[in-house]
């Protein structure tokens, strides 16, 4: 129970394991080959947020505080090295398996549900569903749906949601995921392809955004696909194609590719340097780092409104 309940899914040559804590993808394999870096969920916690759902913001909030509609909210700092609030509020929460999930037989799908209450850091209540669906042809599709179900009012001693024209302001919102693509060989030996034209530079000490620039002519141009070698990255990328786009990691025996597909405007890449470079974290994001302060590509959810985020993981020959 270190990572909550563990659920195994199977479909054709694909198999996946899901942990309820953090709605976490523990492993995904195709014909016995790892598509994502796995971990032993029965004995250990994941490294580097492996496979976790990132809600209601991805990446970092600078200085662990944000100002929204004139109100400032302190957020718990969980990355002391940068002073940041990292990866939202649900990564260590235990989701529940939906009550209508079959209790017997082999599963190819599981929906997980979580009620996130309002807090001093985030005075909106969300109902969150993460549905994992494994298909023999298409691989694993993960759909995260969040609904704003209420906004806390301010009291004498507590700052609730801001009020605009007599109505509670909509909830600021962003979402992502944290799988590490792998080919079960060192990342340096793999070819990475990312269809992003822009990279976000960051302050090396705080990881706060400094501004985007063209990838052309830099070490962060992956558009044609190239050997990773010793290149390091922990950056957000944008300038992605309209509609679905894919990031591909190719290498290892047989030259198969691990593929992640989404349609959101941002993608964080992390070369997992602190983990020994077993793969690359590829995090499709609806907004860039620190969006709760900048407002860039920030989603807002009025009470009763929902947002759906979808990504797919697969292996291609």
How confident is the prediction along the chain (317 residues), in pLDDT tens digits per residue? 899 999 999 999 999 999 999 999 999 999 999 999 999 999 999 999 999 999 999 999 999 999 999 999 999 999 999 999 999 999 999 999 997 777 767 899 999 999 999 999 999 999 999 999 999 999 999 999 999 999 999 999 999 999 999 999 999 999 999 999 999 999 999 999 999 999 999 998 999 999 999 999 999 999 999 999 999 999 999 999 999 999 999 999 889 999 999 999 999 999 999 999 999 999 999 999 999 999 999 999 999 999 999 999 999 99
Q: Is residue 1 a part of any domain in this protein?
A: no
Q: Is residue 297 a part of any domain in this protein?
A: yes
Q: Is residue 51 a part of any domain in this protein?
A: yes
Alpha-carbon gap, residue 218 to 227, rounded angstroms: 14
Alpha-carbon gap, residue 20 to 221, rounded angstroms: 36
Q: Which residues contact residue 289 at a Cβ distance below 8 angstroms, ignoring those fewer than 6 apart?
A: 58, 59, 60, 62, 200, 202, 207, 208, 209, 236, 268
Q: Is residue 11 a part of any domain in this protein?
A: yes
Q: Which CATH number is 235's domain given?
A: 2.70.98.10
Q: Is residue 169 a part of any domain in this protein?
A: yes
How many domains is the chain built from? 1
Q: Is residue 68 a part of any domain in this protein?
A: yes
Yes or no: say if 281 and 48 are a contact pair by the CB < 8 Å rule.
yes
Q: Is residue 311 a part of any domain in this protein?
A: yes
Instruction: Identify which of 79, 44, 107, 105 has the alpha carbon closest to the alpha carbon of residue 208.
Output: 79
pTM: 0.96
Residue ranges making up the domain that contains 296: 6-316
């Amino acid at each position: 129970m270190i990572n909550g309940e563990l659920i195994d899914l199977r479909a054709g040559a694909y198999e996946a394991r899901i942990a309820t804590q953090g709605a976490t993808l523990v492993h995904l394999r195709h014909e016995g080959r790892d598509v994502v870096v796995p971990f032993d969920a029965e004995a250990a916690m994941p490294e580097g947020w492996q496979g976790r759902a990132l809600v209601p913001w991805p990446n970092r909030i600078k200085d662990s505080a944000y100002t929204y509609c004139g109100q400032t909210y302190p957020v718990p700092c969980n990355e002391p090295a940068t002073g940041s609030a990292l990866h939202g509020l649900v990564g260590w929460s235990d989701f529940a398996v939906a009550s209508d999930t079959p209790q017997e037989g082999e599963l190819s799908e599981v929906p997980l549900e979580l009620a996130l209450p309002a807090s001093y850091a985030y005075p909106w209540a969300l109902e969150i569903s993460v549905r994992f669906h494994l298909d023999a042809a298409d691989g694993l599709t993960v759909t995260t749906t969040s609904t704003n179900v209420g906004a806390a009012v301010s009291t004498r001693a507590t700052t609730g949601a801001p009020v605009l024209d007599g109505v509670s302001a909509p909830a600021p919102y962003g979402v992502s995921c944290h799988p590490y693509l792998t080919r079960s060989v060192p990342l340096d030996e793999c070819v990475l392809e990312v269809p992003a034209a822009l990279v976000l530079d960051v302050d090396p000490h705080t990881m706060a955004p400094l501004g985007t620039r063209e990838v052309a002519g830099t070490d962060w141009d992956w558009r044609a696909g190239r050997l990773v070698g010793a290149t390091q990255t922990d950056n957000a990328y944008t300038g992605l194609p309209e509609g679905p786009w894919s990031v591909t990691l190719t290498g290892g025996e047989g030259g198969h590719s691990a593929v992640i597909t989404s349609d959101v405007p941002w993608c964080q890449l992390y070369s997992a340097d602190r983990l020994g470079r077993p793969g690359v974290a590829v995090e499709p994001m609806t907004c860039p780092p620190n969006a709760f302060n900048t407002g860039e590509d920030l989603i807002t959810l009025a009470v009763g409104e929902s947002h759906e985020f979808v990504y797919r993981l697969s292996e291609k020959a």
